[in-house]
Amino acid sequence: MIFADPPYRLSNGGVTCKSGKMELVNKGVWDESMGFEEDNKFNYEWLKACDRILKDDGTMWISGTYHIIHSIAFILLKMGYYIINEITWVKPNAPPNLGCRCFTASQETLLWVKKSKKAKHVFNYATMKELNQGKQMRSVWNIPTTPKREKNQGYHPTQKPKELLYRCVISSTNENDVILDPFCGSGTTGVVAIENNRHFIGIDISEEFLELTRARIEEII
């Protein structure tokens, strides 16, 4: 299984609210838009690289907002992939809208895909039903943003909560499966994978973030 949390291209000089204060939305050069064509080219290249190593019965999760997710979905469909589910992650504690000129952004999208419609894939239906108090788990997930206790080893601007990754990992893999995260960032995918007896491979262009991933994993092994 692959879990990919690519750059959302949000670092454009805008502002957000953090701890009640205005803060610039500049996460790093890696999150800056390169322009429409180059952003699409980047998405195509990393998706092709993932496609090369994903097994025929494997699945891939991709997270994003409207800034990139439609580009990624279009490329995947052109590559012949089948979208199993489109998950809406609703953040009940999302920061407020400072401009008051539009609806407050409080969700992200996760695409769960496989190589073709006929390809077999793992879905641990019973486990997810049990997790949802005996009811079928739906495609809208209400999960708060990352709590402070999960940031004890250091800061990453786009760290995902463990609860979100837990659902992805547990639903679509079995013990001893291999999980790859090509944009591993703070290492949440790796932490959840190892805590649940999966193997993990993490990749990131930032040595600082790789060190953060290493520290978080060493904390649990």
* Distant-in-sequence, close-in-space partners of 147: CB < 8 Å, separation ≥ 6: 161
Domain 2-220 of CATH type 3.20.20.150: no
Distance, in Å, from the CA atom of 62 to the CA atom of 120, rounded to the nearest integer, reads: 19
Between CA 73 and CA 135, with CA 147 as vertex, the angle to 5 degrees is 60
pTM (global) more than 0.85: yes
Q: Tens-digit pLDDT profile for the chain (221 aa)?
A: 999 999 987 767 655 556 556 566 666 676 788 789 999 999 999 999 999 999 999 999 999 999 999 999 999 999 999 999 999 999 999 988 888 899 999 999 999 999 999 999 999 999 999 999 999 999 999 999 999 999 999 888 889 999 999 999 999 999 999 999 999 999 999 999 999 999 999 999 999 999 999 999 999 99
